[in-house]
Every structure is written in C-alpha cells, then in structure tokens.
Structure 1
Amino acid sequence: MALPELEPGVLPPGTERLRGEVRDFLRAADFEPRCDSWLTGADPEFSRALGARGWLGMTLPVEYGGRGRSPLERFVVIEELLAAGAPVGAHWIADRQMGPSILANGTEEQKRRFLPAIARGECFFAIGMSEPDAGSDLASVRTRAERADGGWRLSGTKVWTSGAHIAHAMVVLARSTPGATRHEGLSQFIVELPSDGVTIRPIRGLSGEHHFNEVVFDGAPAELFGREGDGWRQVTAELAYERSGPERFLSTFALVRLMCSLSPGAASGRLLGRLWALRQASLAVAGALADGRTPDLEAAMVKDLGTRFEREVIEVAREQLGVEPDPASPDQAARMLAQAVVQAPGFTLRGGTNEILRGIVARGLGVR
C-alpha cells in the first residue's frame, strides 16, 4: 500500500508583494463579505476589475491573454479573495478549470476565442456533468451527442449547473458512442449560450437564491472539445483543479475570521490549527500542478477533509457566537451564519460526494 507523496508547497519569491497588492485592492473595493462567495457571490463588474489587474487566467500563456504566472502565485490571489469573502462567483469556473482545460485540450481556434476573454473577465463558463437520478455517479451519463452537419447535436439534461444563467458557454460531458465500459464512449462538447435547443431553469436554494440550474438540451448545437471518446480522461484531469483549491476549506473563512474577532478562545484556535494544515495540503497539490502532475488522489483527500472542516466551522460558530442564523438580520454574525447554514448541505456533495471521494482514495491506496 503506497501513501501519496507530495513535496510541501513552497511559495515562490515575490508572492508576499503580490499578496499585499491584492489586499490593497480588496480594501478599496466595495462589497459585503459573505460565506461561499465563490459559488453565490457573482458580480461580473468585479470579475472584469480582477481581469484588468491580471488576476484572472494568471497561469495561461501570454500569447493567449494570460500572464504566464505559476499556480502557486495564483494560489496567493485566490486565497486572499476567498478569505475576504469577495464576489468571485461569475468567473470562478472559467478561471479555475476551464481555462487550463481549454489550453490542454482545445483547438487553436478555441484557445484564441475563449482564453483571452476568460483572462479579461468577459467570458464565464458553466460545466455540465451531473445528471438527474445519477447522484455522484458521473459515469452514468445519459446525455447523448449525435453528429450533425457542421458539428454535433446534444440531447439530455444536466442538473446542479452553477452559473449557467450568466455563463457565455458551457462544457458538457455526453455519450458520443457506445463503449465497452461506462467510462468509454464519452466526449466533451462546448455549447455557447444562449443557444437554440438549450433551456435553463433555476434551481432555488434554501434561502431562495439562484445559482444552481437545470439545463435541458433538445438538439442543441455543440462543438467537440478535445478528442472524441476521451471525455472521461479530460473530466478527471479537470477535477484535480476543482477539488484541491483553497475554496474547499475557505468557503466559511469569513465566518471564522468574524468568530475569532468576536469570540476568541480555544475553539477558534483549534479551527485555525486545522485550517493551516489543510492549507498546507492544498498548497502541496498546487505545487504538484505547477510541476505538470495531475494529483487526483491528493486532490480528493483535500476536498474530503476540507468540506468536513467547513461544516464543523458552522457548529463551532453556533456555540461561540450565541446568535440565531438570520439572513435579514442587521447583525453581521447572524447574516453570515445564515449564509453558511443554507450552503452547508452542499459542502460535502459538490465536486463529488465525500463517500465517492473516499472510494477514489481507497482505490489509489490499493485497499479497494
């Protein structure tokens, strides 16, 4: 049985100056900090301001509109934005995973069309993976792609599609040919939005907010993304970006920071200690990505541990703050606690349920 081995992530020279620049920008920006801001806090104008600063598409090559910076430099920017509870939801998926995926798998035309716009904060993406009645079984894909004049046509339904209502394009996993196994015969496709044959319906959260969607494809025009039949490999590579980032343990950091200021003590100290350990693990994955590796197993571990930590934050906050969660309260602690509570059911589901992730880890360790 082999345990994962990653070198501790070490931030490169110059990142403290970069961190200071981001903090100065955030102090001057006008927004109310919130929990889960990378999912629920969409502000296209804020995204464009980040793009103008060069803080979107940071790792993309300069020739495609990026800045050619390292994943570790991007890590610094991301953790400052999340720690501040900034409204980064509009560009999040495009910047986090679709930019790197398009760079790795897209045609030259697709790279020229999408990457500079992503880096400017002018092109937002959604991802179509989950389907009705499939749970976290991503391979249970029933959405189908059929060849048509000039491209492909998609038919099927995707659910829990974050930001589809504000996205300019969507990457969809669909079954393009029959396969000997469920993981074969899958391909990814790009659908530009809005588009004929695409219906987007809101899925409201517990508090009535709208960031999830059901997306129905009825002969929607699509273009192949990557190689036909290579969809499963492409998706799993993207998931390393999706599962390992600091958003997996910083979604509730705005609440942790408030709790530490209002009710410092042993409970807050224990949370901060665990938070630091999770940060080091996430930073190690970022270092592996910077070296060109795909640390799927390690990313799954970070996601599992991080999302369990975020739910624990809520329980500690309930005990320490002595307020009832209320999204309409004039009290910031009550508002922020309410934001965390209504998002908590999704913490251990999005990006793959913890049970599925533990199966991935078990297989990677050779015990399953």
Structure 2
Amino acid sequence: MARNSEAKPTINDVARIAGVSKKTVSRVINRSPMLNQATREKIESVIADIGYVPNPQARALALRRNFLIGLIHDNPNAQMVLNFQEGVLEGLAGTEFALVVRPVDRHAPDLFDSIRSFIEQQRLYGVLILPPLSENDELGALVREQGCRYVRMGSARLDDAEHLVESNDREAVRAAVEHLIGLGHTRIGLVQGPDGFRSARERAQGFRDAMGVHGLALDPAHVAKGNYTFDTGKAAAGAILDSPHPPTAIFASNDEMAAGVLVAARERGIDVPERLSIMGFDDTAIAAHIWPPLTTVRWPIVAMARAAARKLVRPETASEEQSLFLSDLIVRASTVAPAAKR
C-alpha cells in the first residue's frame, strides 16, 4: 500500500533516514549529552529536512518531566527578580519550555519539604536558584536527589561551571570605590546589604579592600546595614548622615538603597552631588531615571539569567555557555569631586 503523502513524519522515519535507532533519535530530541556531535548534527539535519515535529506530551512522558523551568527565590529586591525573569524568558525563547516562579521563605522550617514538593508536583525539568538560597549547598544536593537539573546564581564560585552563573562583585565594587577615591573622596560611607547574602559580603569586602589599599580609615559611624530595599537604604543613610562628621560620598550595595540615600540627603538639605556623591550597584532602571542619574555598577543580570536558562535546556552545550560575568562601572552625574577638591 502506498504511503499517504499527507502523513506527518514520525520518529521512525527520522531513524530510518538517518540510519540510526529510534532510541538515538530520542536522545537527540531530549538533548541528551550522550551522543557525539557528528551523530547529533546528522539527525538534526534529517529532522529539519523532513519537517518532523516531536510530540511534547510523548516527550514529557518519556522524560517523566514537564517542560517547566522553576525559578526559586527569596529575595527582597523585586527589580532584581524581574530582571532575572527577563533573561530567563530570553533564554527559553524558541523552545517548548515555560517558566514557573516560586517565591519561598528561606527561614521557614519546612523550606526543603516545600521545595521538594514543588519539584515533584510540577515535574520540573530544571530549576534556577537565586541568592541567597543558591548559596545553600544542601539545597543543591536536594535538587540533585530529585533527578532535576539546576543552575545556581552567585556572587562567587558556588559550583561547577555547568551548574553556575557568577559575577565578580568584590572586584567590581573595589574598582568603583577606587573611582570615588580618585575623585578625591577620603570619607566614604557604606550602606551594606542584608545578613545571609553572599553578594552583601562580597560587595562590602570590595569596599573595604579599596579603602585599605589607599590607607583610608573607615569610620564605624559611616557604616549602616540595609535590606536591598528603598526604605532600608533611606534609614541607613539617615544614620550615616546624622553622624558627627558625615562622609562626602556613600556607596550603597544596590540601586534601590542608593535611591533611599538620595532622598535621605534631600530631606536634610544636602545637595547631591555638590555636597554628597552617591553610588549604587545593579544599574537597574531607577539608576538612570532619578535625578541626578546614579553612578552605579552595571550587574549583567539579564545576560546571566539568559545563560543560566540555556545551560538547563541545552545540557549538551552547557559547558560552552559563559559562567563568569564581569560588572562595569557606569559613571553618571551623582558623583563628583568633593567640594574641598573643586
């Protein structure tokens, strides 16, 4: 009997034309790394030539997973989470994968049970873990035990390259603070990030490294802690600016807190940048939209998220994806030389 010319190509057709087994074709479709590149390219060429479209339901059954990527976070910086989502969606574009976002409370006693249930109930293909949760090695072990792919985001080396995207926060902040010192500032304040965040520790250490290299003392009254939010940045800056000898510049560990520093200064009649230079970290939209626009460290979070997503959905090329992302100083109008130097 002649074959119906309108029949859709099947996986058996791909295997027959490529001269391989159905199982080998399945491995290509499911992006298994257990194939050499020549075989993979041959099968992908046949798939493209005959227009074969894999059945997503059948693939999900074979994998025992849905085509869902989970984003797990406990982060007070809403803009950071949104920016990461933007990059993930870019990385998933053109694939069959969808994103599921799961906020959690890292202090909850049932945290691990909750995440385990999330992975099992959603039958997740993979998870992306944001800091500070990503810094918990036990959580990484839990995900591995579930047979689920994962990528962690960090401000330092947390895992092997296949399971990590990281930034150079300490070095970036050191260079940023040296820019302030180069302008002539010697009394510089620090609004730290929250306890429990590796990024907060790395950025604070970069600040201290720069001050130490240049022989500058850090007045304890010029250091206050925030929670990566506008309100806590404002409160921390208030404590610093009300000290007996306030600084001529303040570095805040993210842009939200830096915006709070700006408002605290204005409430006290302190002109920015004439009497106080302000610097942030992230280069989120707020940095360019406030006045004066904010000098900040551009954190390549969208690019990091895009690479993290690709590491998950393209495991055969995960080792080729970038893992370390460098931050850049963006100089705007919120930083100038102190009045005594002008």
Q: Structure 1-normalised TM-score?
A: 0.23
Kindly name which structure, 1 or 2, has the bigger radius of gyration based on alpha carbons: 2
User: What TM-score do you get using the length of structure 2 for normalisation?
Assistant: 0.24
